[in-house]
Amino acid sequence: MKTETRAAATTRLYAVDNLRIVLTALVVLHHAAITYGNIPVWYYNEPPKDPSGGLLDVLVVFDQAFFMGFFFLISGFFTPGSYDRKGGRAFMRDRLTRLGIPLLVYLLVLRPFALMPIYGRMSDLPYWQFYIGSWDPGPMWFVEVLIVFAALYVLNRRVRTAEPVGERASVLRGRTIVLFAFGLSVATWLWRFLVPTGTMIPVLGLPTPDYLPQYAAMFAVGVLAVRRGWYATLSPRAGWIGFAAAGANTAVLLPLKSVTSGMLADLVEATWESTFATAIVIGLVVLFRERFNHQGRFGAFLSGQAYTVYILHPLVLVGVAVGLRDLHTIAVVKFAILSLIALPLCWGLAYLARSIPGAKRIL
C-alpha cells in the first residue's frame, strides 16, 4: 500500500508539474499578446494598427477565463500535504519565505526596471514619485492573494481537524461539477455588482478582482481534490466531456452575450467564464494525467525554473519588446517574434537566478 501511494504521488507530481510548465508559458504568451493587443494593461504596449491585434485580444480573453484560477487550484492541491508535513507554524513561515521574499524583491528591485518605458513616455515627475504613485505588484498579485489563502487555510486547520488524505475518498460526479459551475457563475455575477469588471483595488493592485470568486473556489477545489482523491477518480471520459463542454458553451454563450445587454449580458459573461474554466480545467487535468505523467531531464529543468520564470518574465518581455519597437510589421507577427525570443530567455534567466547561492531555497 505504501509503495502504491508513493507511485501515485510521483505520477501526480509529474503530471501537475507539466501543467505548471504549460500554464507558466501561457502567462508569458498572455502578456506578450497584451503588449501588441488592444487591452493596454501591461507595462509596455504598442497599440495595433491592423486587425490582427483583435486575434491577440481573443487569446487574452480565453486565457483570462481560466488560467489564473487553474494556478490557484494547483496551489490548493499541494497545500494540505505541505501543512501536514510541516505543521501550521512552519508551513506559514515557508509560505512567507517562498512567496513574500520574491514579492518584495519584485516590488523593490525588478518593478522599477519594468516601469522605465512607461515613465519615459507618461510622466515628468521624479522617478521615485512616479514609482510610488503608480504602485501595484504587477503579476505578483497572484503571490499576494496566495499568501492570504494560505493564512486562511492555516486558520481553518486551527479550528477544524482535517481528515487524512484519502479517508473520505469519493468519485467526483457529473452533477457535482455542474452544480459547482452553476454556483460559481451566480457568485461571480453577484460579486461583480460590488466589484465590476475593470475595477482596480488600491494598494493591493489586483488587476482582476472581479475574478476573486473563481480564484477562491478553485483553491478550495484543489484542497478538496487531494483530500478526497478526485484527481485519481476522474475518468478519461470526463476529460473528453470537459473539452466538448468548453467548446459547446463557447459556441452558445459568447454569441448570446453579443446580442444581450445590461445585467443579462453580465450573467451570460459570468456563466461562460465559470463553465468554460470548469470544463477546460477538467479536460486538461485528465489529459495530462493520462498522456503527460512522465518527465525527462528537459521537463525537470523546465519545471524547476517555472516559478522563477513567473517572477522574472515582465523584465524579459518589456526589455525585448522595447528592443523590437522599431520593427514594423503586423501585431500578430510581432507577438510571435517576441514570444519566440522571450520564452527561452525567461527560462535561461530563471536558471541563472536560481544558480545564485541560496536562491533555490526560495525559488
The confidence score (pLDDT) of residue 227 equals 86
pLDDT tens column, 210-267: 999 999 999 999 999 988 889 888 999 999 999 999 999 999 999 999 999 999 999 9
Q: Mean pLDDT lowest for which of 103-112, 141-150, 240-249?
A: 103-112
CA distances from 130 to 22, 112, 139, 157, 269 (A): 35, 10, 19, 42, 36
**pLDDT band per the 50, 70, 90 thresholds, residue 40:** confident
Q: What is the pLDDT at residue 268? A: 96
Q: What's the domain count of the chain?
A: 1
- Please count the other Cβ atoms lying within 10 Å of the Cβ belonging to residue 336: 15
pLDDT at 164: 60
Is pTM beyond 0.75? Reply is yes
Give CA–CA dist 99/326, Å, rounded: 37
Answer whether residue 4 is part of any domain: no
Residue 6 included in any domain: no
On whether residue 241 sits in a domain, the answer given is yes
Does 282 fall in a domain? yes
What is the rounded distance in angstroms from the CA atom of residue 219 to the CA atom of residue 71? Answer: 8
Rounded to the nearest 5 percent, the helix, strand and coil shares of the chain are 80, 0, 20
Average pLDDT of the residues in 99-117: 89
In a domain, residue 1? The reply is: no
Selected residue with higher pLDDT from 204 and 112 = 112
- Would you list the DSSP string of 166-204? TTT-----HHHHHHHHHHHHHHHHHHHHHS-TT---TTT
104-112 mean pLDDT: 90
Would you say residue 185 lies in a domain?
Answer: yes
Predicted confidence at residue 12, as pLDDT, reads 45
Mean pLDDT score of the chain: 89
What's the pLDDT at 131? 75
Q: Are 317 and 29 within 8 A, CB to CB?
A: no
Q: Give me the mean pLDDT over the 315-328 stretch.
A: 94
Angle at 332 between CA 47 and CA 209, to 5 degrees: 60
Indicate whether 223 belongs to any domain: yes
Q: State residue 335's pLDDT score.
A: 97
Across 296-322, average pLDDT: 95
Write out the residue range of the structural domain in which residue 107 sits.
14-361
Task: Give the model's pLDDT for residue 125.
Answer: 73
On whether residue 350 sits in a domain, the answer given is yes
Q: Examine the pLDDT at 119 and tell me if it is beyond 80.
A: no
Distance CA 165, CA 131 (A): 46
